[in-house]
Amino acid sequence: MWKQILSKLPKKSSSKSDHHKHGGPHSSSSSSHASTSKSSSHNNSHTKNAPPPPGGRSEGGNNHNKSGVFTPYEALPHFKDIPNSEKQNLFINKLNLCRLVFDFTDPTNNIKEKDIKRQTLLELVDYVNSANNGKFSQVSIQELVRMVSANIFRTLNPQPREINKVIDALDLEEEEPSMDLAWPHLHLVYELFLRFVASPETDTKLAKRYIDQSFLLRLLDLFDSEDPRERDCLKTILHRIYGKFMVHRPFIRKSINNIFYRFVFETEKHNGIAEFLEILGSIINGFALPLKDEHKVFLVRVLIPLHKPKCLQMYHQQLSYCIAQFVEKDCKLADTVVRGLLKYWPVTNSSKEVMFLNELEEVLEATQPPEFQRCMVPLFRQIARCLNSLHFQVAERALFLWNNNHIENLIMQSRKVILPIIFPALERNAQKHWNQAVHSLTLNVRKIFNDLDPELFKECLAKFKEDESKQVETDAKREATWKRLEEVGMRKAS
């Protein structure tokens, strides 16, 4: 009995297959249509099964009717050619049409179909941008998010790099960015999604069901794209989502923090750090006062450690802006920020040291005397080391701090503590620094102190000379000791 039942199953399947193969109720009797369908199906299958090469992707959707039979990729009517009652349905059909993703590695492949999709995307952008189409229905939102997901979410293929290669910021600047070959379609999909998110006709209560945490995580992953055009679109879209979907704000901040943690403490490789910081700069600017503890923790645990990676130059401008925003909102954070900078201060990277000095000036400009006095001793010990740097740009940038009136006032108010710390560095520069510009700037700074407080200047000069003479005596004694040890060793050896 069981054998009889089982023997019927393949026959039934085969019969159904033959039914479709030989026509069936849904097949066309026209041989030319069957030939076209077969040819189109073959092309689609070939594109879909091809491995996704760099810069392009295989087709990620399908183009079948309800019976499962392949239909040719053809343009749909224009919105202006149909009544308003049918526009929502046409909108959904056009979205479904655009779910098909083409391979752009071969510019001669699917030229007609690619142009149809491009024109359809342009129509969709105009439709979403129109103000007279009413609220988007739940089905429209669902299909739009599905279409966007099918087009933008894919595996990013970064250019291969040596694992142990030290990243040189200058080389990175000269390196040509990798451009996505599918950009003619991608940028229209991004534009459509941006218009949808920004549209007053988008109901956030409905949209948040589909623009959910899973969607946002995949969107954040795309920030690692090597194409700067894509990262710029993503930055604008994420900022809009953050502004419109308030329920997602904590999750977005937390997810970006996790990307930063992985970047700082594990990989030190990510293409979208500057874009994330640009978004955060705007977010920080909108923080209410007094600042929440959560935001202060973000400063200490996320932003300050971002000074650690070697590729700081790639995003330092945006990071510096975020740090300055915190200090401007709460000047009491200046001490925390300065000590954080000192913790990650570079030792052997001179170009990075110049960046730190630039940022330090921005922070000190927003610092008030009480906070300045808390951190001035360790700060000016580091500045003294910068003044004595053999790299002239480091020494020059440190001396430029005295050109800032606010910083000069802070220094002069605490000169009795600061001058003894930096005086030896100033004096050595004045005596023997090889660079003429550094030498001249040093003499100017010495003159400022001497004019303002000649007594203190004389005390520091006397102390410096005394320390120098003691150092000469110590060096002479050490040299004599080594000579005696060498003589004793030679006598014993002979």
Cis peptide bond prior to 290, omega within 30° of 0: yes
Mean local confidence (pLDDT), 400-427: 96
pLDDT value for 109: 86
Spans of all domains in the chain: 61-156+180-208, 212-329
Q: What angle do CA 201, 205, 206 make, to 5 degrees?
A: 70
pLDDT value for 61: 42
Using one digit for the tens of pLDDT, what is the confidence trace for 433-492?
Answer: 999 999 999 999 999 999 999 999 999 999 999 988 888 888 888 989 998 898 888 888
Determine the Cα–Cα distance for residues 240 and 279; give it in Å rounded to an integer. Answer: 10
pLDDT value for 14: 40
Confirm if 69 and 114 have CB atoms less than 8 A apart: no
Question: Closest Cα partner for 202 from 249, 140, 251?
Answer: 140
> Which token pair is 127?
């439709």
Using one digit for the tens of pLDDT, what is the confidence trace for 26-69?
Answer: 333 333 333 333 333 333 333 333 333 333 343 444 444 433 43
The answer, yes or no, to whether residue 390 has pLDDT greater than 50, is yes
Confirm if 216 and 256 have CB atoms less than 8 A apart: no
Question: Closest Cα partner for 353 from 411, 324, 301, 310?
Answer: 310
Cβ neighbours for 29, distance < 8 A, ≥ 6 positions apart: 23
pLDDT band at 159 (very low <50, low <70, confident <90, very high): low
pLDDT value for 54: 36
pLDDT value for 105: 85
Asked whether the CA dihedral 154, 158, 160, 162 is positive or negative, the reply is: negative
Question: Closest Cα partner for 352 from 164, 167, 177, 226?
Answer: 167
Using one digit for the tens of pLDDT, what is the confidence trace for 315-373?
Answer: 999 999 999 999 999 999 999 999 999 999 999 999 999 999 999 999 999 999 999 99
Q: What's the chain's Rg over C-alpha atoms?
A: 34
The DSSP output letter for 70 is B
The DSSP output letter for 302 is I
End-to-end CA gap in the chain: 111
Report the amino acid identity of residue 451. Answer: D
Residue with more model confidence, 163 or 85: 85
Using one digit for the tens of pLDDT, what is the confidence trace for 189-237?
Answer: 999 999 999 999 999 999 999 999 999 999 999 999 999 999 999 999 9
> Which token pair is 484?
């005696």
**What distance lies between CA 33 and its chain's CA centroid?**
51
pLDDT value for 322: 97
> Which token pair is 1?
């009995």
Say how many CA atoms lie within 13 Å of 486 toward its Cβ: 6
The pTM assigned to this predicted structure is 0.80
Reduced 3-state DSSP string for 274-334:
HHHHHHHHHHHHCCCCCCCHHHHHHHHHHHHHHHCCCCHHHCHHHHHHHHHHHHHHCHHHH
Question: Closest Cα partner for 169 from 332, 317, 31, 280?
Answer: 317
> Which token pair is 152?
């933008």
Using one digit for the tens of pLDDT, what is the confidence trace for 61-117?
Answer: 444 443 343 456 787 888 888 888 888 899 999 999 999 999 888 888 888 999 999
pLDDT band at 164 (very low <50, low <70, confident <90, very high): very low
Cβ neighbours for 290, distance < 8 A, ≥ 6 positions apart: 330
> Which token pair is 427?
């004096």
pLDDT value for 472: 84
Name the H helices within 330-414: 334-343, 350-365, 369-387, 392-399, 405-413
**What distance lies between CA 70 and its chain's CA centroid?**
42
pLDDT value for 175: 64
Q: What angle do CA 393, 397, 401 make, to 5 degrees?
A: 170
